[in-house]
Amino acid sequence: MVAQGPRRTIQQVVGVVALAVAVTAFLSVAAVRHGFFDLKVYYGALTWWVHDGGEIYDFLKPGTQYGFTYPPFAALVMLPMAYLPWTAAIVVSVAASVVVTAVLFWWLVDPISRRAGWTRWFALAVALCLAAAYEPMRETVNFGQVNMLLLFLVAVDLLRLLPAGSRWAGVGIGLATAIKLTPGIFIVYLLVTRRWRAAVTSMAAAAGATLLAAALFPDASREFWTEALWNTGRVGELAFVSNQSLRGVVARLNPEHPSTLAWLALVLATLALWAWRSRAAVVAGDEATGLALTGAVMCLVSPVTWVHHLVWLLPALILLVDNGMAAPAGGRRRRALLGAAIVGYGFLISRIVWAWEKDFTGLDGFLGSNTYVWISLALLAFLPIRRSGGDGRISRGPGGDGRTGRRATPAGSAVDAAGVPQLDQHDRRSPAGQGHRVGRPLTVG
């Protein structure tokens, strides 16, 4: 028995090394090298702006039509990059993405490790190796994108500050929205789920950051909000296979004349489903699933969702595994959830949509070129909302160890197939009072 601990550690180290070697071999074959293309755009635009006296939104990377597309506050946040050597800028970009990913995964994976009896470092190491093979993650790192930093800012609010009742809850969402507009849907999430104080805080943070940038850079702010933002030519080709949004689906049906009406109808239906499921998640105290559902719907309803944006699906995939491990061992529910996680992850490392990059016509083109959209829709519709145990307690609390003792759904209450708690009127509570479970043409964005 004395040797069991060291033997187990050795086995885990060997397992992690073997997985890392396998992932490295996979990446050597499957990964596409982008040479930090987007980071070069940011770096070039900031250098042009700071050192050459040009206007940041007038810059185009030489030989391309790519320019800086983020709001002025993003330029303020990235400003130190203009004073770094190019190699240092790469190191900072990669290191920042790796660090925030490790912290986020620690929060989401730790409950799985506890439940499975794995050591924490082993679970985190396995998760990070698997993330390295995940196409949106490797694209984010290799392009030099900011996706994981934005996801981290939102997760700080929803997984840490909001469950703790912090008055600062909402600041991360507001800052993420000021850096890039699409995370603004998390402000809508706070409104839909009636967390009024956090919603106001997020709007105030977004407005304050935007006004600060406007005060410091009035010319750049004027150009962005009056011209660059509305220049649809900067968006690029909506039918391009990398656009894995509902808008991309509709555009690929008719690239010359995509139906705006059909897209809006799909968006409204998707938002209705999201609002219903998100409110159910908050009533159940399942804030991690609220984060995952909102990340999925953001990818779906945004007019442009490049493949690298799909890092926002990572919380949902991790929660599929979490819910699978929480199900009875050997049961059909466990097999179904873990199987769904494996299939979804398998497709999302495969680059399968690129098989239809040149020709997405026909039934196979419709199904195959939109594979990642179908995965996003499936996660939005079927990701389980954590059910309470027989004693009426949720299985995880803010610390991820199930010790909060807060009730998510009263014992004996029914939960429907979509995971929505069916509470009687006497058992209903305001979502604000719940304990929350932790749980590419022409654009650079």
The lowest-confidence range among 262-266, 307-311, 428-432 is 428-432
Split at pLDDT 50, 70, 90, the class of 233 is: low
Radius of gyration (C-alpha) of the chain in whole angstroms: 22
- Quick: pLDDT tens for 400-441: 333 333 333 333 333 443 444 443 333 333 333 333 334 343
Average predicted confidence (pLDDT) for the chain: 86
Neighbour-count burial of 3, counting CB atoms closer than 10 A to its CB (0-12 exposed, 13-18 middle, 19+ buried): exposed
- Give the whole-angstrom CA distance, residue 27 versus residue 235: 29
pTM of the predicted protein model: 0.86
- Please give the pLDDT value at position 217: 95
Contact 47, 79 (CB under 8 A): no
Question: Hey, what amino acid is at 402?
Answer: G
Identify which of 43, 34, 58 has the alpha carbon closest to the alpha carbon of residue 306.
Answer: 34
Residue 438 CA to residue 80 CA, distance in Å, equals 33
Residue 188: pLDDT band with limits 50, 70, 90: very high
Residue 198 and residue 165: Cα distance in Å, rounded? 9
In sign, the C-alpha dihedral spanning 395, 115, 437, 345 is: negative
* Percentage of the residues of the chain whose pLDDT score is greater than 70: 84
pLDDT at position 235 is 57
Task: Judge whether 383 and 321 are in contact, CB under 8 Å.
Answer: no
Average pLDDT of the segment spanning 112-126: 90
Give the closest residue to 304 by CA, choosing from 176, 443, 136: 443
pLDDT digits (tens, 9 = 90+) for 315-350: 999 999 999 999 998 899 999 999 999 999 999 999
For the record, the structure tokens of 231 come out as 């220049």
- b or e along 89-105 (b: 16 or more beta carbons within 10 Å of the residue's beta carbon)? bbeebeeebeebbeebb
107 confidence band (pLDDT: 50, 70, 90): very high
Selection from 56-60, 85-89, 419-423 with the highest mean pLDDT: 85-89
pLDDT recorded at residue 404: 34
